């Protein structure tokens, strides 16, 4: 499968971007893939490759570029140690608002590619990236046609950068999948997000995966749930197929 790693200039520096495309000739619909807090690693690239294999050009920005180079993170080692000490300093330099600004530069880059089909893209994010995928949909309603969040946290809080605040600007169809064992996305937060999307007239579906834990989609996480992950993949590909093909 074709794979590129390029650098895109943003307002804060040089962002490494991984790009995977299907075999054969394009153009293809484009997907922006926002990583979780454990950064770029083989499992992230493998998930992006699965999307590319389904017929999409997939762009994976390394949103930790503001921290400078870092050694690859092994989820098992990170979860066994001090998660906040290891990941916290990098997370502190990014966020939903930063992802929006990064995406502004990434969209400008996409405009230069001849293998991208159409002007509307899809966004998907996992854990930390879930809020980014939704925020980007709200910030660029003319560009984002479908947006998905899997086990994203803090999606409807009192913070000024909470994604639910951008619901009135969304034109994308939205899919939000949460776990029933996830303190970062409690029932009251799901209800608040669902209400914001409903009030804004956004086509959406918010659902909870019973028995799943935060991070269930990630094959290198200890809580990976294959059955729930395949359900998530089916929902994601249906979403993109309806809106980007």
CATH code (residue 221): 3.40.50.1820
Q: Which two tokens stand for residue 111?
A: 């405009």
Please list the pLDDT of the chain residue by residue as tens digits (245 residues): 899 999 999 999 999 999 999 998 889 999 999 999 999 999 999 999 999 999 999 999 999 999 999 888 989 899 888 988 889 999 999 999 999 999 999 999 999 999 999 999 999 999 999 999 999 999 999 999 999 999 999 999 999 999 999 999 999 999 999 999 899 999 999 999 999 999 999 999 999 999 999 999 999 999 999 999 999 999 999 999 999 98
The CA distance from 178 to 207, in Å, is: 6
**Angle formed by the axes of helices 128-139 and 96-110, nearest 10°:** 60
- On whether the CB atoms of residues 189 and 155 are closer than 8 A, the answer is yes
Give residue 99's pLDDT.
98
Paired strand residues for 150? 126, 177
* Continuous segment of H or E residues that includes residue 16: strand 13-20
Residue 110, both tokens: 């996409």
pLDDT on residue 181 = 84
Torsion from C-alpha of 228, 74, 68, 135, nearest 10 degrees: 10
Please, are residues 53 and 43 in contact by the beta-carbon 8 Å criterion? no
pTM of the model: 0.97
* Interatomic CA distance for residues 20 and 42, integer angstroms: 13
Measure the CA–CA gap between 202 and 192, rounded to whole angstroms. Answer: 14
Domain count, the chain: 1
Q: What is the span of the domain harbouring residue 152?
A: 3-244
From residue 222, give the alpha-carbon distance in Å to each of 35, 74, 79, 233. 17, 11, 9, 19
């Amino acid at each position: 499968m074709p794979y590129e790693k390029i650098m895109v200039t943003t307002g804060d520096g040089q962002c490494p971007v991984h790009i995977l495309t299907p075999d054969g000739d394009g153009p293809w619909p484009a997907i922006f893939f926002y990583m979780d807090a454990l950064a770029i690693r083989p499992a992230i690239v493998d998930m992006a490759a699965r999307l590319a294999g389904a017929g999409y050009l997939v762009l994976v920005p390394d949103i930790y570029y503001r921290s400078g180079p870092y050694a690859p993170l092994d989820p098992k080692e990170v979860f066994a140690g001090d998660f906040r000490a290891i990941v916290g300093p990098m997370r502190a330099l990014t966020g939903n608002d930063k992802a929006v600004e990064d995406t502004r530069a990434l969209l400008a880059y996409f405009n230069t590619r001849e293998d991208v089909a159409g002007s509307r893209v899809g966004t998907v994010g996992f854990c930390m990236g879930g809020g980014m995928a939704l925020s980007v949909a709200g910030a660029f309603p003319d560009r984002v046609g479908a947006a998905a969040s899997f086990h994203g946290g803090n999606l409807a809080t009192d913070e000024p950068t909470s994604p639910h605040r951008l619901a009135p600007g969304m034109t994308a169809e939205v899919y939000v999948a949460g776990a029933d064992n996830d303190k970062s996305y409690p029932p009251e937060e799901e209800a608040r997000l669902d209400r914001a999307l409903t009030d804004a007239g956004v086509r959406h579906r918010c659902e909870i995966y019973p028995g799943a834990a935060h991070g269930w989609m990630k094959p290198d996480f200890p809580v990976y749930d294959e059955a729930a992950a395949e359900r998530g993949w089916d929902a994601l590909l249906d979403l993109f197929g309806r809106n980007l093909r």
